[in-house]
Structures are given as structure tokens and as C-alpha cells.
Amino acid sequence: MNKNDIVSPENIVYKKPELMNDTFMHYCPGCSHGVVHKLIAEVIKELGLEEKTIGIAPVGCAVFAYNYLDIDWVEAAHGRAPAVATAIKRLNPEKMVFTYQGDGDLAAIGTAETIHACNRGENIAIIFINNGIYGMTGGQMAPTTLPNMITSTTPRGRDVRMTGNPVKILDMLIHLDGVCFATRHSVHTAAAVKKAKKAIKHAFENSMAGKGTSIVEIVSTCNAGWKMTPVEANDWMVENMFPVYPLGDLKNV
Amino acid sequence: MSEEISLMKGNEAIAHAAIRYGVDGYFGYPITPQSEIIETLMEAAPWETTGMVVLQAESELAAINMVYGGAASGKAVMTSSSSPGISLKQEGISYLAGTELPALIVNVQRGGPGLGTIQPSQSDYFQTVKGGGHGDYRLITLAPNSVQEMADFVDLGFRLAFKYRNPAMILTDGAIGQMMEKVRLPESRRRRTEQEIREQCPWAALGKTPDRKPNIHTSLELDPVIMEKNNERFQAKYREIEKNEVRYEEILCEDAKYLFVAFGSAARICLKSIEMAREEGIKVGLLRPITLWPFPGKIIEEYAKKVKGMLVVELNAGQMVEDVRLAANGKVKVEHYGRLGGIVPTPDDVLKALKEKITK
């Protein structure tokens, strides 16, 4: 039996999504970003939106998202993705516009842009990766860093008296009438990946139906920043992140 | 709408011109002395006629980033503000320059620094023509001196911005923004269709079609060898703009022994000072830069060989005078007269300064 017998079409049960480029990813092994990218690529294809979609890349680890999905992209300044997306969608209402943002981008430097895009009910989807740390710049504290969690700018653990408590921004955003869908997921198990994909698809459908702003938060691992193996990071996330950021729909109208 | 003559403020002229020229989007945040621009647009409700999008953003920062997004999709988009708000927009302006996207930004200047005042000033000259945001970039800068030019430069600004894929700024001030004058508004031009944008701007992020690679707008490049090449490409473009797009006006310069060099509202004041000076037999003319970048250095160099002195009149502590001195290169005496913090000099003040600093 040679290799070609094994990879015959009837034996293929899983493959790389068509919209994912054939290139090396810069993400660390074990990182959640790659899985979420894959889900977005699948959703765009399944909804037949590949010629209509414009992605807004953030500043942070996902800054190079535009290298991985074969669609049009605009790379925004740090935190400004919702403002960038607002204009593209308003000027091109028939397009699918989504932002892909990390916790620092969305919940620290871009808090104002996030809140006001949501409040206006912009018909965009926001994919929010929350791993409680700044990965790209080398593991500093994020607004979502847990109390006592060690980062390079909280080397003795996050002291909430000095830097405040984790920002549960989804819990804040659901009070805005412009938000039609806010949900929290993870991608650490096959079952979780399936649920997360369903949520992303629902968010994209909402955007195209003009229902308002949809936010899908993915509670994620940063095993490099957390200084753990991928398996340890998944366990740590379940044990420590999920109690603060419980999974499930916060709003679905 | 056909061509029309109206009496209106400079700020209102910008708004009406934007609608008539078929601008796709305006994103702004109110600040004195330019709020009439967004107010006029909201009152006119162009989304019901031309389909132009008008949006009041949550901040100047959001507004300029909306412009950045709109520009990336190939649309003709603009914003306006006044000095403190323009400082906030510098992030987005640098990104527009770094991604080579066309856009129009209007700065109706007021006195600074800080919150400053709401009266007219020209103290953002350095910020506009020397950088403002980070990185080696240039901003095409147009300086109107009348309500008519406020309207006309909306078109000129967009034409240059799209021709060179570079942001352009109308650098004006509270005096031109607030004063009312007769203005001839252009005939209405329809907005471009998506098909036309796809043809004219093949770089526009409007959704990837199978016949092309993805359009990706980013200013990030971690390989310094490529980043240097990108910068060299920008610089080559800037040299091209400097070669082709210098604009200025010469008034009573043929027989002039002395020259005022002034732009915008300061140039308007100089016109009256020239009239008064000539009644006294002082032959003075005006060289008015219309593009502040690219700067009309060559014509100043020419006049430096002909006249006996130049007085640069500005509503600031001496900014454009540095560029005039560079151009004159020591061939003639170049002095500066300016008022600060929102004070506008009278023609008498300017004439007195000419006599004290240049002709005596």
C-alpha cells in the first residue's frame, strides 16, 4: 500500500479549510488562535461569503491573521478595529465585516471603540480572544488577567488593589441595546470547538441579517505566556479562567 | 443639483461641496470652530439623496480610524476637526500614510498648545507639514484663503489623495471656517459604483474575487530590508508630488521690491496691507503658498534673487518662515511677523511690521 491509497478521497474525513493559506503559522504550538482561525475560515466558506468578507486584524498576536485566511483584510491600529469595521460595513452594507481582537486590543486600549460600536449596533461580528495576557509583547498583564496571576508586569501576581480586577467586558456589553448576541466559548476540546464554530456562524449570520453587533468571546490559552505545556495550560484554563469567565450565551436576541 | 451661488460660512461650504462632489463618507467629532461641518451634513441628510454616510463618532480617534477603514475599501472618505482633535487623529494619519490610502482631513485651526483657545491660529503648520504622526511620511497640504477655496479644495484634496494614494489635508483656521462669503458650489457629481471603485482602485478591500490575490492593508513589516524598500517607495512618491503638485498664487509681484509670504487668513490680511503700502509708495507683493506641502520653495528662491526683503506673516510664532528661509538660502533678508494664541493682526499691524523689519 502506498501513500496515495491511504489519502484517497473516500478516506478523507478531515482537511484544512479551503480558505486557509498554505503557510507556516507564527503562533506557538498549543495556542488557541490557529483553531479559531480555522473555524472562521470554515464558517465563511459554508455561508458562501468568501467574496464578500473583509476581516479586521488587530494589534497583538493575531496581527498577522491576514497571512492565514484567503480573504481581504485591513490591519487596524491597536484597539481601533471596531471603528475601522464600522466604516467598512456602513459604506458597504452588503459585505460581511468582522474584527478579530485580543483582550488588550478589545478591553484595554480599544474599550471606547468596542463599547460605541456595540452601542450603535454595528452589523459586524467581533471575535474576541481572551487569554488573560499580552502574548505578542512578551507576556504582560492584560485587563483580563486573573487576580494573583503572574505576568511579566505583575511578577508577584496581579495585585487587584494596584491594577484592579479582571474586566468582564462581555458582562458589560450585554447591557447595550445594539448587541444582539454575546456568547463565551473555548476551543480546548472537540466538543468545545464544535460549539464555538456554531456561535461564530450565528454571529456571522446576525451580521448579514442586520441584527446588530455579535460578540463571540473565546476563552483561550497562552501556554507560552503562561509558561506551561499546552496540556497544563488547558487544565489551568478550566480550573482558573472558567470560574471567572463562565462559558455560554450571555445574550441572544 | 446644478451649480449654485450662495452666501455661507467656510465650514458650511466644505460640507455642501462634499455632498456635491460625491464623497462617500464623513466621520467626525464636534469641536469648535468647525462643528458646522458635521451640523451642516446632518441637516442636509445626504444619505437620503446621494447615499453619503455621515456619522458622529465617539472620538476623533475613532473618526480617523473609520476614515482609515473606509479608505481601505476604496471609498472617498473624510473627517474634520480643529487643532486639539487633530492631535488625536495623528495615529490614524500615520497609518493612512503607511498603508498608502487616500483620505481627506480638514483642520480648522485654533490657538494652542493644549486646549488653547477657540480663535483662529496657524500654529499647526509644523504638525501638518513636518510629520505630526510617527514615521517618515508627508501629508499633501492645501491652504485655502477663501470660502470658495474651502469648497474647491474638497475636490482638489480628493483628486490628489487618490492620484498618489496618500492622505491630504485642508489646513485652514477659525477665521476662514467661520467667515461668510459668496461661494459658487459645483454641479453635483454622483458617487462611484462598487464596480467603478473595483476598476479604479484595484487595491480596495471589497471582498476577494477569484481573479485576484487578497487585498491586505497593513503598515506592518517586520523585515527591515523590506520596510526600508517600502519607505523608499514612499519617498519616491513624495519626490513625484513635489515635482508635480506645487501650487501658489502671486499677487502684485511683477514690480515688487518687497514680498509678503503668507497663507490662508494671514494672506487675506496681507492683501489689505499691500493696498495701504502701495498708497504710500512701498512696492510690496504677496506670494501665497496654496500647497504648504509640497512647499513652493523654488519660486521663493527665484524671488529671493529679485526682491530686497521678505516678511513672512503667520498666525503663529514663526513656523513657515523656516521653510521660506531655507528656500531663500541667505540671498535675501527674511523676517517674521506673527500674532499668537488666537489674536488676528490688523492690516495696520502688518504694514507697521513690514516697515520696522524690512523696508526701513
Q: What is the pLDDT of residue A8?
A: 82
B251 in contact with A at a CB cutoff of 8 Å? no
Look up the CATH number of domain B249-359.
Answer: 3.40.50.920
Q: What is the pLDDT of residue B123?
A: 98
**Test mutation, A69, A92, A99, A118, chain B, max B CBs within 10 A:** A92
Q: What is the pLDDT of residue A23?
A: 92
The cell for B80 is 474634520
Q: What is the pLDDT of residue B337?
A: 98
Give dist(CA A181, CA A98) in Å, integer: 14
Q: What is the pLDDT of residue A220?
A: 97
User: What does each C-alpha distance from B134 to A50, B92, B168 come to in angstroms?
Assistant: 35, 10, 16
Q: What is the pLDDT of residue A13?
A: 83
Lowest-pLDDT range, A18-32, A139-153, B70-84, B199-213? Answer: A18-32
Task: Characterize A229-240 residue by residue with b for buried, 16 or more Cβ atoms within 10 angstroms of its Cβ, and e for exposed.
Answer: ebeebbebbeeb
Per-residue pLDDT band for B1 (boundaries 50, 70, 90) equals confident
For B62, which of A64, A83, A95 is closest by C-beta distance?
A83
Identify the residue whose cell numbers are 447591557.
Answer: A175
The model's pLDDT over B81-122, given as tens digits with 9 standing for 90+, comes to 999 999 999 999 999 999 999 999 999 999 999 999 999 999
Instruction: Tell me the three-class secondary structure of chain B, residue by residue.
Output: CCCEEEEEEHHHHHHHHHHHCCCCEEEECCCCCCCHHHHHHHHHCHHHCCCCEEEECCCHHHHHHHHHHHHHCCCCEEEEECHHHHHHHHHHHHHHHHCCCCEEEEEEEECCCCCCCCCECCCCHHHHHCCCCCCCCCCEEECCCCHHHHHHHHHHHHHHHHHHCCEEEEEEEHHHHHCEEEEEECCCCCCCCHHHHHHHCCCCCCCCCCCCCCCEECCCCCCHHHHHHHHHHHHHHHHHHHHHCCCEEEECCCCCCEEEECCHHHHHHHHHHHHHHHHCCCCEEEEEECEEECCCHHHHHHHHHHCCEEEEEECCCCCHHHHHHHHHCCCCEEEEEECCCCCCCCHHHHHHHHHHHHHC
Q: What is the pLDDT of residue B358?
A: 97
Residue B7 reports pLDDT greater than 80? yes
User: Which phi and psi angles does B198 have, rounded to 5°?
Assistant: -60, -35
The cell for B140 is 499633501
Helix (H) or strand (E) holding A232: helix A230-236
Q: What is the pLDDT of residue B360?
A: 87
Residue A146 reports pLDDT greater than 90? yes
CB contact under 8 A, B205 and A80: no
Asked if residues B170 and B154 have their Cβ atoms less than 8 Å apart, the reply is: yes
The residue-averaged pLDDT of B308-336 equals 98
Residue A1 reports pLDDT greater than 80? no
Residue A4 reports pLDDT greater than 90? no
Q: What is the pLDDT of residue B333?
A: 98
Residue B147 reports pLDDT greater than 80? yes
Asked if residues A169 and A215 have their Cβ atoms less than 8 Å apart, the reply is: no
The cell for A10 is 473516500
Q: What is the pLDDT of residue A20?
A: 96
CB contact under 8 A, B68 and A71: no
The residue-averaged pLDDT of B162-169 equals 98
For B73, which of A53, A91, A115 is closest by C-beta distance?
A91
B226 in contact with A at a CB cutoff of 8 Å? no
For A95, which of B207, B209, B218 is closest by C-beta distance?
B207
The residue-averaged pLDDT of B54-79 equals 98
Look at domain B4-194 and name its CATH class: alpha beta
**What letter represents residue A107's amino acid?**
A
Task: Characterize B310-336 residue by residue with b for buried, 16 or more Cβ atoms within 10 angstroms of its Cβ, and e for exposed.
Answer: bbbbbbbeebbbebbbebbeeebbbbb
Give dist(CA B16, CA B87) in Å, integer: 25
A84 in contact with B at a CB cutoff of 8 Å? yes
The residue-averaged pLDDT of B234-254 equals 98
CATH architecture designation of domain A27-135+147-252: 3-Layer(aba) Sandwich (3.40)
Residue A96 reports pLDDT greater than 80? yes
Average predicted confidence (pLDDT) for chain B? 98
CB contact under 8 A, A80 and B65: yes
Residue A12 reports pLDDT greater than 90? no
Q: What is the pLDDT of residue A159?
A: 98
Q: What is the pLDDT of residue A15?
A: 86
The model's pLDDT over A198-222, given as tens digits with 9 standing for 90+, comes to 999 999 999 999 999 999 999 999 9
Give dist(CA A131, CA A251) in Å, integer: 21
CB contact under 8 A, B65 and A56: no
B88 in contact with A at a CB cutoff of 8 Å? no
Give dist(CA B123, CA B121) in Å, integer: 6
CB contact under 8 A, A77 and B210: no
The cell for B71 is 479608505
pLDDT higher for A11 or B139?
B139
SS3 (DSSP) at A46: helix
Per-residue pLDDT band for B332 (boundaries 50, 70, 90) equals very high
What pTM does this model have? Answer: 0.97
The residue-averaged pLDDT of A142-158 equals 97
Residue A229 reports pLDDT greater than 80? yes
CA atoms within 13 A on the CB side of B109: 30
The cell for B226 is 523590506
B209 in contact with A at a CB cutoff of 8 Å? yes
